[in-house]
Chains A and B, each alone.
Chain A
Amino acid sequence: MTSRQQPVAASETAVTISVNGSDVSVPEGGTILDACSAAGIETPTICYAENLTPVNACRVCVVEVENSRTLVPSCSRAAEPGMVVQTDSERVRHSRKMVLEFLGSGVDLSQADQLAPWMEKYGSDPGRYGESPETMNEEVRIEDNLYIRDYDKCVLCYKCVEACGDDAQHTFAISMSGRGFGARIATEFDVALPDSACVYCGNCVAVCPTNALQFKTEFDLREMGNWREEEQEVTQTVCSYCGVGCNLELHTQDERIVKVTSPADHSVTSGHLCIKGRFGWQYVHAGADEVDVQIGR
C-alpha cells in the first residue's frame, strides 16, 4: 500500500529530509510518504493511491514533523529541505491506532484485508466503544449484474468519487453527500445506478480499498462461500476492443474469469478502464451492447 518509488535521477533536484534520524532524498515535489518508502519504512494508507490526487482524509498515514503543532499527513505533504520526521513516535502510533479503531467501530472491515495487519500492529481495539456504537448501517445495493455497492463497508475515502470524476472517468456519477457521520457516497438523490450517469467503467470498483464496491462475480462467489483468492491466477493481456492498447489483468478461478483489472502504473490506463475492457469478457462473442441489457437501460 505504499507509493511507487521514484528513483532520484542525477539531473533532478533532490530534497533531503531526516526520517527517524536518517537522511533520505526524494525528487523535488516528492512527499514525505515517498521519502518513507525510499527509506524502506512501510506506512499504512487508505485514501491514498498513486493514480489519484491525494485527499488526505483518512489520516492513517500521519507522521510527526518537528515544529508542527499537529501531525501531518505524509501522503500529501511535500518533503521540504531539512524536515525532521518521526514515523513511529508515541503520538503517531496513537493516532494511527485510533483512526483504525474508529473505522473498525463503525464500518464493516471484514474484507479490508490490507488493514488487518496494521490494526494488529498498532493495537486497535474497536470493541471498546460500548454496547452499540453507531455504525454505517447500510444495506447492500444490488442494482445490476456488473457490480454491487455495500456502504456498510465504506470508509468514505473519496477514491471512487475521484476515479469517477476529475482523476479518471470524468463522468461525475457519484459524489460525497450529507455531512458528518451521515456522509455517504451517493448519486443525485441517491437514485439507483442504472438511472444515474454511471457508464459502468468499473474504475470506482478497482480503487475501493475495503470491497465496499465489488464486481458482481466476486460478490456472488463470496455469497456462495466460493471466493478463493489464493487460488486465482492472473493473466496479462491487451484489450482487443479498440486500438488504445489497455493492459488487462484477467483474474481467473476454476478457469473462469472472475474480475478484470489494469495495473495502476500502466502508462496507458493508470489502472483505469472502460466498460468494454472491464466487463466485456462476459460477452466476448456478443459485444458491449449486451452489457446495457444487463444493467437494464
Chain B
Amino acid sequence: MPDLHLTQDRASSAEMAAVDAALATLGVTPAVVEETERLVRGGIHRKNERRHALLPALHALQTESGWISKGGTNYIAETLNVPPAEIYGVASFYEMFRVDTAPDHDENVAHVCVDSPCLEFAEAKIAELEADGTPIHRSPCLGQCERATPDHGPALFIQGRKAANSVPSDSSDLWDLPQKHEYGLKLLKNVGRIDPTSLDAYVGAGGYKALAKAFALGPDKVIEEVSAAGLMGRGGAAFPTGVKWRGVAAESGTKHIVVNADESEPGTFKDRTIMEHDPFSLIEAMTIAGFATGAQKGWIYIRGEYPLATERLQIAIDSARVAGFVGDGIARSSFNFDIEIRRGAGAYICGEETALFNSLEGFRGEPRQKPPFPTTNGLFDQPTAINNPETLLNVLPIMLEGGEVYGNLGTEGSSGHKLFCLSGHIAAPGTYEVEFGPTLRDVLELGGGVQGTLKAVLLGGAAGSFVGLDALDMPLTMEATRAAGASLGSGVVMAFNDTTDFDAVCVRIAEFFRNESCGQCVPCRIGAVRQHEVLVRTSGSKLNGELKLLQDIDLAMKDASICGLGHTASTAVLSAIDLGLIG
C-alpha cells in the first residue's frame, strides 16, 4: 500500500542515477514500503533508517539538475520514504538548493561574498560578473576572508551544474601560508610543511603518536589530561572540553563524536586552514575523542562551500582506513571507530550544535531547545560530543606533552594555544597561532600591522563586538575580553581603518542576521528584521529616538530567543553605536 501521495512529476533517468549513486556511497538502500516502513509509525526508527541520507540525496539532485526538481523530489521521497512536503521544507532552508523554477538552472552560479571584509569589493565584482552574464548569488561569508584584499577582491564560490563545486582561489599556491616559518607552533605545525594528502608524510612528521599515547593512557586518563589542560571549546562558547567528554563517557549505548566544521561565522576561516592543510591531525584527534568517550561513530559536518577541505578530508579518511587508522580494530587495538563526512548546504545556523544535528539527520536546521544537552541527547537523540576542529587539534599536544604542561601555557584563565583569523585592513591577513597572552596590538602586528589608520576591530565575528583603539592593550584572552564586555568567539580579528563606511558595515551585519535566522522563534525571526529596518532607515543619520527601539529589540532577542543566533544578533550593532561608529 503506497504510503505517500506524490504529484505526477517524474525524475529523469540521470536524476535517478545521481541520487542512487549518492545513496550507494552511504550504503543506504531504497525503502520498500512494508508495514514497518510506514510513516504512520513515526518516531526515531524512521529518522535513523534513511532520513539522514536526505541532504546527500539533495546535493546529488542539485548538482545534476541545477535545482531540486519536482520529479527528483518525488524520486527521493519514494526512495527514502520521506513525505515530499517535508523534503521541500528541508530543501528550501538552504542557500545551495534552488527550489524555484527560474530558467537559469543550466548555468554555474557564482556565489559572491557580501560580508565584511569582502563587502567593500563585492559590488564591483558583481557588476563585472553580471556583465559577463554569470548568474550571481549574493552570499554570506564564504570563509575565505584572508583573500579579501584590493588585489583579490571578494571571496567567490562557484556552484557547478553537472560539475563539481569550486573555489577559483583554491588553485593558487597552497603552500604560501603566513606563519610557515615561525617556530613553536603546535596547532599549525604541519600547515604548509607537509603534503596534506599523504599519510606517510603525516606519520613521518610524528602523526599518530598522540593516538598511541591515548591508547596507553586508557579512556579515563585521556579525559583527565584534557581536563588538566583546562581546554575550552574554540567554537565560540568556550565550554570546558573535559566536562563535555566526561558527560558522554558516562552514558551508554551508541555514542557519537561530531566535528562542527560548519564554520560560517563571518570572519572565520581557521578551521578551513586546518582541514585543507592538515586533515590527518583532525582525523587523529577525533579518533582520540572517540576512544576517550567510548563513541563508535565520528561525523564531520563541513560547510558546503569548502570543496577543497572536503576533498582532502575524504582522502585522509580513505588512506587512514586503508592503513588501519579508521574502521574496526584501529591500530590493531579492539577499538572501532568509523568516520563519515556530511556536507552542509549553506546555512549559518547549522553551526549551532543542535541545528547541526537536525540538519545531519535530514530535518530542517532548526535549533532544539536545551536542555536536554547533546551529551545525553545529541545526534539521533543519542549521547554526543560535538567539538570545533581547533578544539580537537589541541588534544594532540595535550596527549604528547601531558595536560599539566599544556595547561601551563598561556594565561591563568586561558590555557594553551589559540588560532586567530586576521582579516580586513591588515598587511598580511591569514590564520595565526599564538600562545594565549598577546594583546590585540601584538596580534595585529603579527599580521604585519594595520593598513591606514585603525578605527575599530571586530572581535569574534558578526556575533561578537567592535572594540576601539582603547582596547589595543587588552590581552586577547577569554578573561580579559570578557571583562571588557567583548568575547573572543571563534577568534575573528577584523581590522577596519578610517576609510570604512561603518553604516554600510552595520546594515550588512543586521541583514546577515535577518537572513540567517532560522525563523523558528518569534523574537529572532521578527526582531532581526525590525533591527535591520531601523538601521536601514537611520543609516547615515542620527538614531535619535530609535536607540530605545533597538535596545528593546535587543533585550527581547537576548532573553527570549531559542538559540545563540538570536542572543547575539544585536551585540555588534549596539557596540558600534557605543563606540560612536554609527548613530
Contact = CB atoms under 8 A, between A and B. Distances in A.
Given A98-B555, A170-B40, A197-B5, 18 more contacts: A70-B561, A70-B567, A91-B555, A95-B555, A102-B527, A105-B526, A156-B522, A176-B364, A179-B516, A179-B517, A180-B519, A181-B517, A186-B85, A187-B85, A189-B70, A189-B73, A191-B7, A197-B4
Interface stretch (B86-94, B289-297, B333-341, B377-385): B86-94
A197 B83 CA distance: 9
B7 A180 contact: no
B529 interface: yes
Contacts of A13: none
Interface in B554-568: 555-556, 558-562, 567
Interface string A9-49: 00000000000000000000000000000000000000000
B559 A180 contact: no
B152 interface: no
A58 B561 CA distance: 9
B85 A196 contact: yes
A128 B561 CA distance: 21
Interface in B316-366: 347, 364
Contacts of B70: 188-189
A56 B562 CA distance: 8
Given A179-B92, A196-B5, A94 B83 contact: no
Interface in A181-196: 181-183, 186-191, 195-196
Interface string B508-549: 000000111111111101111110011001000000000001
B42 interface: yes
Contacts of B525: 156, 180-181, 183
B238 interface: no
28 contacts: A55-B520, A57-B521, A57-B522, A70-B561, A71-B559, A71-B560, A98-B527, A98-B553, A98-B560, A130-B537, A133-B533, A134-B529, A156-B519, A166-B43, A170-B42, A175-B83, A177-B92, A177-B93, A178-B93, A179-B93, A179-B347, A179-B518, A180-B518, A180-B519, A181-B514, A186-B89, A189-B73, A189-B88
Contacts of A170: 39-40, 42
A172 interface: yes
Contact of A180 (B42, B89, B514): B514
B415 to A, nearest CB: 24
A89 B525 CA distance: 24
B552 A94 contact: yes
Interface string A196-235: 1100000000000000000000000000000000000000
A155 interface: yes
Contacts of B519: 156, 176, 178-183
Contacts of A58: 521-522
Interface in A92-145: 94-95, 98-99, 102-103, 105-106, 128-130, 133-134
Interface in B257-316: none
A276 interface: no
B92 to A, nearest CB: 4
Contact of A177 (B88, B514, B515, B520): B88
Interface string B88-109: 1100110000010000000000
Interface of B: 4-5, 7, 39-40, 42-43, 70, 73, 83-89, 92-93, 99, 347, 364, 369, 514-523, 525-530, 533-534, 537, 549, 552-553, 555-556, 558-562, 567
A173 interface: yes
A59 interface: yes
Contact of A99 (B73, B522, B530, B562): B522
B558 A102 contact: no
A277 interface: no
A258 interface: no
Given A102-B526, A172-B83, A191-B7, A94 B369 contact: no
Contacts of B526: 102-103, 105-106, 181
What range describes how many residues of A lie at the interface? 35 or more
Contacts of B92: 177-179, 186
A128 B559 contact: no
B307 to A, nearest CB: 23
Nearest to B91: A177
A73 interface: yes
B86 A73 contact: no
A273 interface: no
A76 interface: yes
Given A129-B530, A174-B85, A175-B89, A188 B523 contact: no
Interface of A: 55-60, 62, 70-71, 73, 76-77, 91, 94-95, 98-99, 102-103, 105-106, 128-130, 133-134, 155-156, 166, 170, 172-183, 186-191, 195-197
B560 A180 contact: no
A134 B527 CA distance: 11
Contact of B529 (A71, A98, A181): A181
A166 B83 CA distance: 12
Nearest to B94: A179
Contacts of A181: 514, 517, 519, 525-526, 528-529
Nearest to A73: B369
A33 to B, nearest CB: 14
A146 B529 CA distance: 35
Query: Nearest 8 pairs between A and B by C-beta?
Result: A175-B89, A183-B519, A197-B5, A172-B83, A98-B556, A102-B526, A188-B84, A95-B560
B40 A189 contact: no
Given A129-B530, A172-B83, A197-B5, A98 B523 contact: yes
Contacts of A180: 514-519, 525, 528-529
A276 B353 CA distance: 44
Contacts of A95: 523, 555-556, 559-560
A99 B526 CA distance: 9
* Interface core residue of A62, A170, A181, A190 (most chain B CB under 10 Å): A181
B558 A59 contact: no
A197 B85 contact: yes
A173 B39 CA distance: 12
Nearest to B349: A179
